[in-house]
Amino acid sequence: MPQKLAVAQIKPDEEIPKDWLSQSGFWTISKTADEISFIAEEKYISAFKKRDSGWRGLKLKGVYDFSQTGILESILKPLADAKVGILAVSTFNTDYVLVKETNLEKAKTVLMGKFLIVEPKLETELK
């Protein structure tokens, strides 16, 4: 994914800001009893006091059925063995693995030959 991403957190009783949602090419919001977390392009997260920037996303090509097991483990185990920290995001159809930008090339190398990673305007099977 071409965007630099960030994750931010607000308290669960704070209002969810919506002004940037239609502008960010990638975003996700999660709410629990303890917090509300956002992941979006860095430029839209910079105003939040509690945030962590410098993330890049790898989109896994393919639609994975909910009955399939071990998909994320097969991605995360090699990255963990290589000491690459991750933030996983799943949607109905797609899985994303976010890594720090400083680890992006290392993550791609670790995953070579195992998964089809979708790059912006380019799909490259890592071999």
pLDDT at site 113 = 66
Domain count across the chain: 1
Q: At what angle do helices 104-111 and 71-81 cross, to 10 degrees?
A: 120
- Residue 106 domain boundaries: 5-125
Residue 80 phi, psi dihedral angles, 5° rounding: -65, -40
Copy the structure tokens of residue 1: 């994914």
pTM for the predicted model, two decimal places: 0.80
Copy the structure tokens of residue 86: 């991750």
Q: Cα 20 to chain center, whole Å?
A: 18
- Chain segment 17-41, per-residue pLDDT in tens: 888 888 888 899 999 999 999 999 9
Cα–Cα dist 63/10, whole Å? 31
Q: Cα 53 to chain center, whole Å?
A: 12
The CATH number linked to 115 is 3.30.2130.10
